C-alpha cells in the first residue's frame, strides 16, 4: 500500500506505529482521506490479532530448566516474593513453601478424599513424574501436577491425626529442613537428594514418623 | 512466614492489584525473554521492587505501565548483570515455545511465530505498547529513544506483521 503525499506518509507512520494513539492532525487527515482510513481500519484489525497473539495462555509458555538454577541460588541472598491472596517477603525456601500451600489451596477438594486409591492409580501418577515411593500409609488422592514447570506427584495420605498432603519435588533443592505455617496449614520441607519433599497437614503438625518414612522412602 | 504488614493503608488493595496483574506481567516478561524460567525470575524481582517502591506510585491507574516498566528494567538488568545468553529463535522453535505452538488457529500461530521472530528492537516496544499499555512517549522515555524513533520501530514491527495477516506491507518510513 503506497502513500500518495507527505501527509499520507506522515499519517501512515502514526497509524502503523500507534493506531489507537493518533494525534489530532492525523485524525483530521484520515477523516478526509479514504486510503488512509482504509489503512487505519486494516491496522486496527491487525492490532486486535496482535493483542490476541500476545495474550497467549501462560500454560503455553514452556520452561527451560537451565537458566533458573543459577538465579534461584542467587536469590538466596535476595528476598523472594510470593503472592497468593496477599504479598509477603520471604526467603526462597519459604517462597517454595508458600507456593506449595498455594498449590494445595487450589486443589482443596483433595483434603476431603477418604477412599483408598488403587495402587495402580498411584503408581501411574508416580510414573508420570519419574518418582518411586515406598509407603505404608493409605493414599486417598494422587495427581501428577505441574509445579514450577515440572510434573510432580501431589498426593494425600490418611494418618491417625488426619489427612496429610505430600508433594515430591525432585527439582527443588533446598538447603535444610524447615517447618512452616501458612493459611492454617502446617508443613515441613525436607531435603532429599538433589530435591525435596513438602509435607503439609491441616490438623496440627506433620507427624515426624511420616516425614521420616517419606524422606527415606522416596527415590527418583 | 514473614508477611508484609496487612491492614495498613493501601497494603491489601495493592497486593490484590499485583496479584491481578501478575499473569499479564508474566506474559509480558515471557515475550521479552522468550523463556518462561527467566520470565518468572523477572516477575519475582519486579514484584519485590514494586512492593518496596509502592509509595512512589501516586496514581493507581498508572499501576499497569509502572509495573511493566519495572519488569522491562529488571529484564534488561538481568541480561546485563548475568550476561544471559540471548535466545536463538531456531532453538525457541525447537523447544515449542508458545508463539510457535499450534492450537487450532493456524493464522494466530503464524502471527505469534512472526512476533517471536521480530528483532528485539521491534518486538520490545510492540509488547510494551500492546500488552503493557504504554504510550509511545512512555516507551521512548523508557528505552532512551526519541519519540520519532519509537514510532519508526513500532511502524516497522507492524509492517512486518502485515504480510502475515494477509495485508500488503506499507511503504517503509525513513
Among A83-87, A103-107, A208-212, the range scoring the smallest mean pLDDT is A83-87
ipTM: 0.79
Least Cα separation, residue B86 to chain A (angstroms) = 11
pLDDT at A78 over 60: no
Number of other residues whose CB lies within 10 A of the CB of residue A151: 16
E-strand ranges in chain A read 80-83, 87-90, 132-133, 139-147, 150-159, 162-169, 178-182, 185-192, 195-201, 218-219
For residue B44, the model assigns a pLDDT of: 86
Contact B24, B66 (CB under 8 A): no
Q: How far is CA A162 from CA A168, A204, A216, in A?
A: 20, 9, 21
The pLDDT tens digits of the residues spanning A28-63 come to 999 999 999 999 999 999 999 999 888 877 665 554
- The pLDDT-based confidence of A216 (bands split at 50, 70, 90) is confident
For residue A70, the model assigns a pLDDT of: 39
The pLDDT tens digits of the residues spanning B49-85 come to 888 888 888 887 788 889 999 999 998 888 765 554 5
Q: Cβ contact (<8 Å) for A51 and B130?
A: yes
Q: Which of B44, B47, B131 is opposite residue A54, by nearest beta carbon?
A: B131
Q: Which of B1, B107, B165 is opposite residue A88, by nearest beta carbon?
A: B1
Alpha-carbon span A68 to A171, nearest angstrom:
11
Alpha-carbon span B16 to A85, nearest angstrom:
7
Domain ranges of chain A: 6-54, 61-219
Contact B45, B16 (CB under 8 A): no
Q: Which domains does chain B have, with CATH numbers?
A: 11-87 (1.10.1740), 118-174 (1.10.10)
| Largest distance between two CA atoms of chain A | 83
Least Cα separation, residue B127 to chain A (angstroms) = 8
**Phi, psi angle pair for A3, to nearest 5°:** -85, 145
Q: Cβ contact (<8 Å) for A53 and B108?
A: yes
Pick the more confident residue, A2 or A63.
A2
**Does residue B21 sit at the A interface (CB-CB below 8 Å)?**
no
Q: Burial code of A126-143, b = ≥16 C-beta within 10 A, e = fewer?
A: beebebebebebebbbbe
The pLDDT tens digits of the residues spanning A153-168 come to 999 999 888 899 999 9
Over chain B, what HEC string results? Answer: CCECCCCCCCHHHHHHHHHHHHHHHHHHHHHHHCCHHHHHHHHHHHHHHHHHCHHHCCCHHHHHHHHHHHHHHHHHHHHHHHCCCCCCHHHHHHHCCHHHCCCCCHHHHHHHHHHHCCCHHHHHHHHHHHCCCCCHHHHHHHHCCCHHHHHHHHHHHHHHHHHHCCCCCCCCCC
**Does residue B131 sit at the A interface (CB-CB below 8 Å)?**
yes
Angle between helices B106-116 and B120-130 (to 10 degrees): 120
Among candidate residues A109, A89, A99, A113, the one with its CA nearest the CA of residue A183:
A99
Interface probe with A: pick from B130, B138, B152, most Cβ of A within 10 Å? B130
Least Cα separation, residue B171 to chain A (angstroms) = 6
Q: What is the pLDDT along chain B (174 residues), one digit of tens a residue?
A: 334 433 323 346 787 788 788 888 888 998 888 877 788 888 888 988 888 888 888 887 788 889 999 999 998 888 765 554 555 555 444 444 544 554 567 788 888 888 988 998 999 999 999 988 899 999 999 999 999 999 999 999 999 999 888 888 888 876
Task: Report the first-to-last Cα separation within chain A, whole angstroms.
Answer: 60
Q: Which of residues 81-120 of A touch B (CB under 8 A)?
A: 81, 83-90, 94, 97-98
Angle at B122 between CA B121 and CA B123, to 5 degrees: 100
Contact B37, A68 (CB under 8 A): yes
A18-A22-A26-A29 Cα dihedral, nearest 10 degrees: 100
Decide: helix, strand or coil at residue A84: coil
**Does residue B152 sit at the A interface (CB-CB below 8 Å)?**
yes
Residues of A in contact with B158 (CB under 8 A): 16-17, 43, 46-47, 50
Alpha-carbon span A113 to A103, nearest angstrom:
17
pLDDT at A192 over 80: yes
Residue A142 pairs in a beta bridge with A155
Number of other residues whose CB lies within 10 A of the CB of residue A57: 11
Contact A157, A137 (CB under 8 A): yes
- The pLDDT-based confidence of A117 (bands split at 50, 70, 90) is confident
- Whole-number average pLDDT of chain B: 79
Amino acid at each position: 500500500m503506497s502513500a500518495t503525499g507527505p501527509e499520507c506518509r506522515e499519517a501512515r507512520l502514526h497509524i502503523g506505529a500507534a493506531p489507537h494513539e493518533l494525534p489530532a492532525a492525523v485524525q483530521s487527515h484520515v477523516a478526509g482521506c479514504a486510503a488512509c482510513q482504509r489503512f487505519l481500519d486494516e491496522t486496527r484489525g491487525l492490532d486486535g490479532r496482535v493483542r490476541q497473539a500476545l495474550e497467549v495462555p501462560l500454560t503455553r509458555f514452556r520452561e527451560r530448566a537451565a537458566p533458573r538454577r543459577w538465579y534461584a541460588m542467587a536469590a538466596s541472598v535476595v528476598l523472594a516474593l510470593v503472592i497468593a491472596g496477599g504479598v509477603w517477603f520471604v526467603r526462597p525456601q519459604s517462597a517454595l513453601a508458600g507456593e506449595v500451600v498455594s498449590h494445595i489451596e487450589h486443589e482443596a477438594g483433595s483434603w476431603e478424599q477418604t477412599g483408598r486409591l488403587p495402587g495402580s492409580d498411584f503408581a501411574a501418577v508416580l510414573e508420570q513424574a519419574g518418582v518411586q515411593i515406598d509407603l505404608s500409609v493409605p493414599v486417598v488422592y494422587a495427581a501428577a501436577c505441574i509445579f514450577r514447570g515440572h510434573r510432580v506427584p501431589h498426593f494425600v495420605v490418611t494418618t491417625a491425626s488426619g489427612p496429610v498432603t505430600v508433594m515430591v519435588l525432585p527439582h527443588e533443592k533446598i538447603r535444610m529442613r524447615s517447618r512452616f505455617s501458612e493459611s492454617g496449614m502446617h508443613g515441613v520441607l525436607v531435603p532429599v537428594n538433589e530435591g525435596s519433599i513438602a509435607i503439609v497437614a491441616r490438623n496440627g503438625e506433620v507427624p515426624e514418623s511420616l516425614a521420616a518414612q517419606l524422606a527415606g522412602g522416596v527415590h527418583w | 512466614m514473614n508477611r508484609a504488614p496487612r491492614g495498613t493503608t493501601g497494603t491489601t488493595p495493592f497486593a490484590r492489584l499485583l496479584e491481578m496483574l501478575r499473569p499479564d506481567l508474566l506474559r509480558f516478561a515471557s515475550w521479552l525473554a522468550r523463556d518462561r524460567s527467566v520470565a518468572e525470575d523477572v516477575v519475582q524481582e519486579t514484584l519485590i521492587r514494586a512492593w518496596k517502591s509502592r509509595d512512589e506510585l501516586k496514581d493507581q491507574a498508572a499501576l499497569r505501565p509502572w509495573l511493566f516498566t519495572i519488569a522491562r528494567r529488571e529484564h534488561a538488568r538481568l541480561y546485563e548483570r548475568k550476561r544471559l545468553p540471548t535466545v536463538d529463535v531456531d532453538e525457541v522453535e525447537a523447544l515449542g515455545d508458545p508463539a510457535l505452538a499450534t492450537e487450532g488457529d493456524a493464522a494466530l500461530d503464524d502471527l505469534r511465530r512472526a512476533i517471536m521472530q521480530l528483532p528485539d528492537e521491534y518486538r520490545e516496544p510492540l509488547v510494551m505498547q500492546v500488552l503493557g499499555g504504554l504510550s509511545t512517549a512512555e516507551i521512548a522515555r523508557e528505552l532512551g529513544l526519541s519519540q520519532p524513533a519509537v514510532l519508526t520501530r513500532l511502524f516497522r514491527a507492524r509492517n512486518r506483521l502485515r504480510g502475515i495477516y494477509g495485508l500488503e506491507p506499507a511503504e517503509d518510513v525513513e
